[in-house]
Structure 1
Amino acid sequence: MSTKLERRDHRAAWLFLAPMAAALLLVAVWPLGRTFFFAFTDAYLDDPATYSMVGFENFREVFGDPSWWQSVRNTLVFTVVSVAIETLLGLGIALLINEAIPGRGLVRAAMLIPWSIPVVVATKIWDWMLNDQFGVVNKALFEMGAIDRGIAWTSGSWLIMGVTIFIDVWMTTPFMVLLILAGLQLMPADILEAAQVDGVPAWKRFWSITLPLLRPALGVAVLFRVLDALRMFDLAYILSASNENIMTMSIYARNRLISFQELGAGSAASTWVFLIVALIAVVLIGLLRLDRAAGEV
């Protein structure tokens, strides 16, 4: 039976949570609910007040659109490849700067520069650098004799996906480094020191001690990056607008909603994006919980 003090603490906790709950309701729940509602209508963006209910027709129409499946494939390829590269690079850099090396503080500060640059600015910088006529990348490759003419890196060819992944890796690897480095610094140093004194090789210390202890932090970092990559919009859209070779699910939903003014179909596409991201999030969180439970056993 709860005491009077406990009841008062509960009321105080709810009072402190009320502003956050109201803000969440305003900026997340209400827009999401409106999106779900319009997904079942034939409304257009120029006259959203005039509509009729069409059931699941918009969902079936988006589901049967080849461009939608192209955007799903692009999103998954981008997510898997970019997150894998960022995780490996982030782990390697974090292990390096976790050691007591000269200039470690300077390296940590410099490492944050790509992450701190706004996506729009960073994308345009790389777009200019990769230009086939005046870009410094092509100029450098030409001077080295690697190419005999400029390469259209950001044109409609298959190269655009590789360029997008490269830019994202350049911008976001510092984020992975920070999360993994935080996990490394929370590890008990005495275990590693004891293994080193016992003569355990460095690779075995990493594989048998460091990596298992780092798995929770590594899992959280991968979870954050996967969810962020699945909803990627700005980088691909700024680089090549609606090019189908790099069109993501978010860009597809934006095109249906804004370019074609199809409020119903665009809302259905946005709902599909939400459901796919939510499903992947549930799976990843479930895997993290299973891994944590196995570690505790």
Structure 2
Amino acid sequence: MSTPVTESAPIPARPLPATYRSTKVRRQRVRAAWYFLAPMLVTLAMVAGWPLLRTFYFSLTDASLSDLSDTLFIGLENYLVYDDGRWFGVLADPIWWRAVWNTVYFSVVSVSLEVVFGVVVALILNAEFKGRTLVRAAVLIPWAIPTIVSAQMWAWMLNDQFGIINHLLMGVGLIDSPIAWTADARYSMWAVIMVDVWKTTPFVALLVLAALQMLPKDCYEAAEVDGIHPVKVFFRVTLPLITPALMVAVIFRLLDALRVFDVIYVLTSNSTSTMSMSIYARQQLVEFQDVGYGSAASTLLFLIIALATIAYLYLGRKQLQLGGE
């Protein structure tokens, strides 16, 4: 008697581990992100990459603005070279290092003031009061004005002969005689910083205000019920929550400040007391027509900005990780 053959039930497929599924989804998202970024990266390489490489090439030559076709490769001599007992090149030029110091000083002071004033303005605009919409629109006016226009406007107001700033200060008795705000080395840098802060504080305020609008209301309601002081609430609740927006504002403003040109050039031209790295490079390229030397200065400017950006992003990421823990 034969034993009947019974069909065995199919073995159910084992589900894939959650970690595998999440890794696969993550890879698909990364691949899709690169597909969307590809057109922008190609365009950026054509618009910015090629001029950057050409600038670096010129920095290794003795190119002149009068004839760019007749150039001789000289290596790193535009950067630094020792000849006949002396150092030559951009890195040996004291005016360049003065421009570096001016740029760093301008960037640190102006961005710091803009962050402080921007947060204060954003907190005011975030409060409920009559006419808030009109005030918000008015605050954005300095940022909407082109930099060249606002710099020239302030140059007239800061003029020592007919400027309204001296007229007002003398009218209230704060000064006895007109001050050459943009010509005197004691005041010119602070005059430039004041104009830049007036111009770009609304940008920081706008980003911080957007972050404030996204904050959850229950945290503040709980703090109000517990009777916590508003200042303590700001430093313990509000400031940590708006830190990502502040980081974005600072990095954008820091990039702009490190490559500042227009506001300083309009107000003080080529004065060494306020000369930035961009103005130094422009002076070598245009006025002295030394394309190789000016390209070396421009390349160093790019490297300084890149290093500052990388350092800031690295430190900011570490700060966020520590805050998350």
Secondary structure at the counterpart of residue 59 of structure 1: coil
- Show the 5 A alignment for 1:140-219: 140-219=168-247
How far does the alpha carbon of each residue in 1:144-187 deviate from its partner, in whole angstroms, 9 at most, with x for none? 23323211111142211010000000000000100111111121
Could you tell which deviates more after superposition, 191-200 or 265-274?
191-200
CA spacing shift, 1:127–1:11, aligned 2, 3 Å: closer
2:136 pairs with 108, 127, 140, which one?
108
TM-score, length basis structure 1 = 0.93
Q: Which protein is bigger by CA-based radius of gyration?
A: 2
For the pair 1:131 / 2:140, whether they are aligned, the reply is: no
Runs of 4+ in 1 over 3 A off after TM superposition: 9-14, 16-19
Separation of aligned partners in 1, 2:32 and 2:204: 39
Q: Which of 230, 238, 256 in structure 2 is aligned with 1:228?
A: 256
Where does structure 2 lack aligned partners over 5 or more consecutive residues?
Answer: 1-19, 81-88
CA distance in 2, matches of 1:82, 1:187: 27
Correspondence for 1:120: 148
Which secondary structure does the structure 1 equivalent of 2:241 belong to? helix
Q: Aligned to 2:105, what secondary structure does the other structure show? A: helix
Q: Residue 53 of structure 1 aligns to which amino acid in structure 2?
A: F
In the TM superposition, residue 18 of structure 1 has moved relative to its aligned partner by 4.8
Task: Tell me, in whole angstroms, the C-alpha distance in 2 between the residues paired with 1:291 and 1:38.
Answer: 39
- Where does residue 20 of structure 1 map in the other structure? 40
Identity %: 50
**Are 2:71 and 1:51 equivalent residues in the alignment?**
yes
| Structure 1 position 32 matched with structure 2 position 52 | yes
Q: What is the rounded CA distance, in whole Å, between the counterparts of 2:211 and 2:69 in structure 1?
A: 51
| Matched residues, number | 293
**Partner residue in 2 for 1:238:** 266
Residues 214-248 of structure 1: CA distance to partner in whole angstroms, max 9, x if unpaired? 11111111111111100000000111110001100
Relative to 1, partners in 2 of residues 1:282 and 1:10: Cα closer, same or farther, differing over 3 Å?
closer
| Structure with higher RCO (Cα < 8 A, 6+ apart) | 1
Hey, what does 2:4 align to over in structure 1?
none
8 Å contact from structure 1 (residues 58, 264) kept in 2: yes
Counterpart amino acid of 2:133? G
| TM-score (normalizing by structure 2) | 0.85
**Structure 1 spans left out of the alignment, 5+ residues:** none
